[in-house]
Amino acid sequence: MQATFDAHALKPFTRALTCLSRYGEELCIYASSETLSLFCTNSSKSAYCRFKFNKEFFSRYRVGDPAKGTNDSAMGQLMAKSLLSILKHKTVESTLERCEISIVEGVSSEESTDETQDGLESKLIVRLHCRHSVIKTHKLLLLGSTSLIAPGVPDSSNETLLRIGPRAIRDIIEQFSLPKGAKSDPQLIWTFAEAEVAVRSLESSIDTRGKAQLATELFISADEFDLYNLYEAPTTIAFHLREFNATIAFAELCGLGLDIRFTDPAEPLFIDVEGDNFETLFVISTSHPPNSSAQVRLAPSGPKKRLREDTPADSTRFRKPTKVVQSTTDLGQDTTPARIAASPLSMPLPQVAPTSVSQRSNFPQDQDVMTTSRLSQQKPPLFLPTPSQLSDSDKAVLRESGLGIKHTSVEGCNEMFETHGLEMNCKSIELRAAWDG
């Protein structure tokens, strides 16, 4: 893979890298014939960040070698900080004329006799051409990408869509005097009502230093948002700020607005930022704010894991953030909408990695409602467009299968659950039915 970009494309690229390095430590690069993706997950897998650069972003972009018939994708993993420190240097920013990034695969049998080929490991080569013909070549070793990860797909039927400019959201966050530091991981609780939004800082009796924290609550009108499509009011979600701040900082530097989508509390939050020849996706896990009575949980699979998080016994106990990503083997195909499972059951599944596999595969045989046996293969490459982007024919397929969300009845759901002896909170089904109604 070889990509070249010039000095003015360096800025968004380094901004992306800065944001990625704030999300997680290891950065994955995936180059396909049309796009270059950089993505990473944080250590607890509760936040995911992906930047996709179209090939128009680069002045030159080539993947694979058509003559040799190598597969047209390249992939590797490296430390985000190393790449960032190379590109974000002050001298680089002022003297760079163009930058070439290439991935050289390790296995080279018939490759050229270039002395730079190592032959053992894959390398990411960053070649900076600076003023006065000074050339700086950095060769970074690529770690073998062992497990690919991708986020779960949101179910958009009950999704709330908000659009807000970065300055406005930054003003909101700034009001909170939150402890800064590596050890603190502040959370904010957002309550979305019809016409206003209440943002509250999470109260905990003591913070890390044993001092009582200041609790802040602020109300903003929904007019601050450029778009405010709330699915159901009121909705309350809580999520951690560390990654959210990185996203806001990126959006602000690039001057782009944020599209925030979320469904239920405890389903992850999706943020889209689209720019000039690139698009980004951020997924942040959310949780129920403690002391809240709502216990809406769809946990058809992996009940053990979920129930543990459910117990509100100790409301001030730190809640483990839910995973937003899962392992996947197929990373490139983001254009197969038919693979989406539109059922409410499978929607939360992607967040619980291994246990979901076996459970889900039970359904097709018994119920014959799942669209295809493809699901049982458990290979949903989850760079999938949201269901709202499904083509009409695919929508028809889903509707036919009888499991469109809007057509599920309470009885049908309960039946399903009882058959499999799964614990279900019937209250939640009733609520869902109310939405469908």
Q: At what angle are helices 353-367 and 410-419 packed, to 10 degrees?
A: 110
Q: Cβ 127 to other proteins, closest distance in Å? A: 9
Q: Tokens for 332, please give them.
A: 């490139």
Which of 55, 89 has the CB closer to other proteins?
89
* Contact between residue 152 and residue 325 where contact means Cβ atoms under 8 Å apart: yes
CB atoms within 10 A of CB 318: 10
Q: Which residues here bind other proteins, judged by CB under 8 A?
A: 79, 82, 85-86, 89, 91-92, 123-124, 132-141
Q: CA 36, CA 143: separation in Å to the nearest integer?
A: 18
Q: Cβ 14 to other proteins, closest distance in Å? A: 14
Q: Cβ 4 to other proteins, closest distance in Å? A: 18
Q: Cβ 131 to other proteins, closest distance in Å? A: 9
Q: Cβ 115 to other proteins, closest distance in Å? A: 11
Which of 137, 419 has the CB closer to other proteins?
137
* Contact between residue 269 and residue 287 where contact means Cβ atoms under 8 Å apart: no
Q: CA 201, CA 189: separation in Å to the nearest integer?
A: 6
Which of 29, 124 has the CB closer to other proteins?
124
Which of 137, 365 has the CB closer to other proteins?
137
Which of 144, 354 has the CB closer to other proteins?
144
Q: Cβ 125 to other proteins, closest distance in Å? A: 9
Q: CA 55, CA 277: separation in Å to the nearest integer?
A: 8
Q: Tokens for 47, please give them.
A: 């936040």
Q: Cβ 83 to other proteins, closest distance in Å? A: 10
Which of 100, 264 has the CB closer to other proteins?
100
DSSP state of 207: -
Nearest C-alpha neighbor of 401 from the set 319, 320, 338: 338
Which of 55, 136 has the CB closer to other proteins?
136
Please tell me the number of Cα atoms within 13 Å of 79 on its side-chain side.
Answer: 7
* Contact between residue 173 and residue 220 where contact means Cβ atoms under 8 Å apart: no
Pairing mode, if any, of strands 278-284 and 196-201?
unpaired
